[in-house]
Amino acid sequence: MKHIHILHNPKAGEGNYSEQELLSLFKSKGYDASYASLKKQDWDKFPDDKEMLVIAGGDGAVGKVVMNMLKRRLADSNYTLAVLPLGSANNFAKSLGIAGDAESVIKSLDVGNVQKIGIGRISGNEEYEFFLESFGIGLLPQLMKRMKKNKEMIDSPEKKILASLEQLHELVLSAEPVTCKIKADEKVYTDKYLLAEILNISTVGPNLCIAADASPADGYLNLVLIPESQRLEFASHISKKIKEEEDDYPFITQRAKMISIECERSIAHVDDELVSGKGLKKLEATASEGLINFLLP
């Protein structure tokens, strides 16, 4: 019998699954399953006899587990992580090609391939050392700040994505740009930017695919820039996304091993956490290859 341990955020998405429902679902598929809620203390006391940790939740749940493993130096352990996406955006799962309802995702665990996933490493900030998805300045942290205030008023993942896109559209039209000097390996960019984002995955925020070729398994980071001069074009792109219309926006992207950002002042984010503008004069991100085992479809 296959042994797994479920790490669950019971508030993810619409909170559709209880502990017993998840255990029953996995056991019906032939798994010996144990369970821990990410909202309880000691959730990180992983059983030694479980070969796979299944993260049942959204992007925040995945990040929480991975960062815990990195801090405890478990990244190079024998644990393999799998994702059962139950959140609103599920950007990390989407970037790995993991999608579908719970039953179809669980079925795919039997045929998936284990691949080592890289992590972004940050220097120049005392609060955070790693990021799994992305970090950056400008529009996305401003959007996160707005949405945190309205979180309790939105009752479904679909409405949350739509509300985020509508708020982002407003921000694109009104946000003050940030003057930055950015270096991606040997290439230098200097301009006023609405967004400067360093990604380990392809999709961020309200399901914005801004770095289509990004892969957390290739050992590179991806820089995406939106200068002030493209304000109206990017606003139009967001408007079309709200209407579910196709649009090929010409993102300025650069693949690199090391990316540094120097800016005059800005709020920033690391994955789904906001970072104050204090001490953000210069941040540097480097790609770390092959640290965590993930099961991919």
86 and 100 Cβ atoms separated by less than 8 Å: no
Reading the block at residue 105, the tokens are: 């995702």
Return the percentage of the chain with pLDDT > 90, whole number.
68
> Which segment of 96-110, 173-187, 229-243 scores lowest on mean pLDDT?
96-110
| Domain 120-288 in CATH 2.60.200.40 | yes
Specify the pLDDT at position 291.
84
pLDDT in tens, 207-252: 999 999 999 999 999 999 999 999 999 999 999 999 999 988 989 9
Residues of the chain with CATH 3.40.50.10330: 2-111
Dihedral, CA of residue 226, residue 212, residue 296 and residue 55, to nearest 10? 30
Helix, strand, or coil (residue 90): coil
pLDDT in tens, 113-139: 999 999 999 987 777 789 999 999 999
159 and 102 Cβ atoms separated by less than 8 Å: no
The domain 2-111 belongs to what CATH superfamily? Probable inorganic polyphosphate/atp-NAD kinase; domain 1 (3.40.50.10330)
Task: Please write down the long-range contacts of 241-247, taking CB distance under 8 Å and 24 or more positions apart.
Answer: 241/165, 241/208, 242/162, 242/165, 242/166, 242/169
The residue with tokens 């050992």 is: 219
Helix, strand, or coil (residue 234): helix
Measured distance CA(202)–CA(205) in Å, rounded:
11
Q: Is 268's pLDDT higher than 60?
A: yes
Global pTM exceeds 0.85: yes
The residue ranking higher by pLDDT, 291 or 206, is 206
| DSSP calls for 143-164 | HHHHHHHTGGG--SHHHHHHHH
59 and 91 Cβ atoms separated by less than 8 Å: yes
Reading the block at residue 130, the tokens are: 């790693």
pLDDT in tens, 137-170: 999 999 999 998 776 566 688 888 999 999 999 9
pLDDT in tens, 164-178: 999 999 999 999 999
Residues of the chain with CATH 2.60.200.40: 120-288
Q: Is 265's pLDDT higher than 80?
A: no
